[in-house]
Amino acid sequence: GGQGATNGTGLNGAVVADGSSTVAPLTEAAADLFRDVEPGVNVTVATSGTGGGFEKFCAGETDISNASRPIKEEEAAACAANGIEFTELIVANDGLAVVVPAANDFVTCLTVDQLGKIWGPASEGKINSWNQIDPSFPNTKLALFGPGTDSGTFDYFTKEINGEEGAIRTDYSPSEDDNVLVQGISGAEGGLGFFGLSYVTENADKVRAVDVDGGKGCVAASEASVQDGTYTPLGRPLFVYVNNASYSEKPQVKSFLDFYIEKQSEIAELAIFIGLTAEQVAVAKKELESLG
């Protein structure tokens, strides 16, 4: 069903994608737009997480792996052991926003050091109030929210802010569901959390992002600051990994990925991410061309 509309080149077959739930909406958006062109191709997008995705990818079960961080060495080794060759593509940019309730009127900017002080494993049970971060802040109880331990976002944030993946105080409220985090932060007077910029944009009435000072002054999270790299360290690229053999042997996979890069800005907009810079697009196209 659903097929039989205007046929592009009449391709069919399956494109199997798995991996990060952060990146999944992007690949879904791509698949969505792609269906208008090639209705015969079935694109499936599962969300086993970045690591789970790589596991399947390196076992040859999937064509595409969505990832919110680069592949790790041991994961690459698993691919190599199974003779899977792959190519990394950057498909969009994302900003990790540091978020407070919309009603918060005392924080406008936090430095990376302050963030580290708030979130570090050593602060567990010790840093409990905003005025411990900066005496100018009121003596309001800190209520911390963040993604669950299984997400790429968690890995990324802990690495950038606390210097080690997974290193974080455990007395914050985790949830895999970003809407739940929005609910939580907006409802706590001293709420603070971090998650993808898109959820801030969509919930502007409830929460707002604060500026982050990565050493070169306060920078607001925005499309421009993420694209030009000034929103450090919390701006990050999103990846898809493609199985080289799939790309060269399955015309539907090739067609899908070419389309993905071609239409990246439209796709990013749909999924509420930040599009690629012209430079990034050129790199991606070159990578794909080299695969033939």
Residues found near another protein in the complex (CB under 8 A): 1-2, 21, 24-25, 27-29, 31-33, 35, 42-53, 55-56, 59, 61, 121, 143, 145, 148-151, 158, 164-168, 170-180, 183-185, 187-188, 196, 198-199, 201-203, 267, 270-272
In the bound complex, what is the minimum distance in angstroms from residue 234's beta carbon to another protein? 18
- The residue (of 7 and 278) whose beta carbon lies closer to another protein is 7
Q: Which two tokens stand for residue 66?
A: 């969505």
219: alpha, beta or left, given left = phi > 0 and alpha = psi -120 to 50?
beta
Q: What does the alpha-carbon distance between residue 34 and residue 28 come to, in Å, rounded to a whole number? A: 9
- The residue (of 150 and 258) whose beta carbon lies closer to another protein is 150
Q: Which two tokens stand for residue 17?
A: 């994608």
In the bound complex, what is the minimum distance in angstroms from residue 34's beta carbon to another protein? 9
- H-run or E-run covering 211: strand 207-213
Q: Which two tokens stand for residue 153?
A: 């976002």
Q: What does the alpha-carbon distance between residue 24 and residue 187 come to, in Å, rounded to a whole number? A: 28
- The residue (of 6 and 170) whose beta carbon lies closer to another protein is 170
Cα 141 from chain centroid? 29
- The residue (of 180 and 282) whose beta carbon lies closer to another protein is 180
Q: Which two tokens stand for residue 256?
A: 């899908």
Burial 7-16, CB ≥16 within 10 A → b, else e: eeeebeeebb
In the bound complex, what is the minimum distance in angstroms from residue 53's beta carbon to another protein? 7
Q: What does the alpha-carbon distance between residue 286 and residue 288 come to, in Å, rounded to a whole number? A: 5
- The residue (of 111 and 183) whose beta carbon lies closer to another protein is 183
- The residue (of 6 and 290) whose beta carbon lies closer to another protein is 6
In the bound complex, what is the minimum distance in angstroms from residue 176's beta carbon to another protein? 6
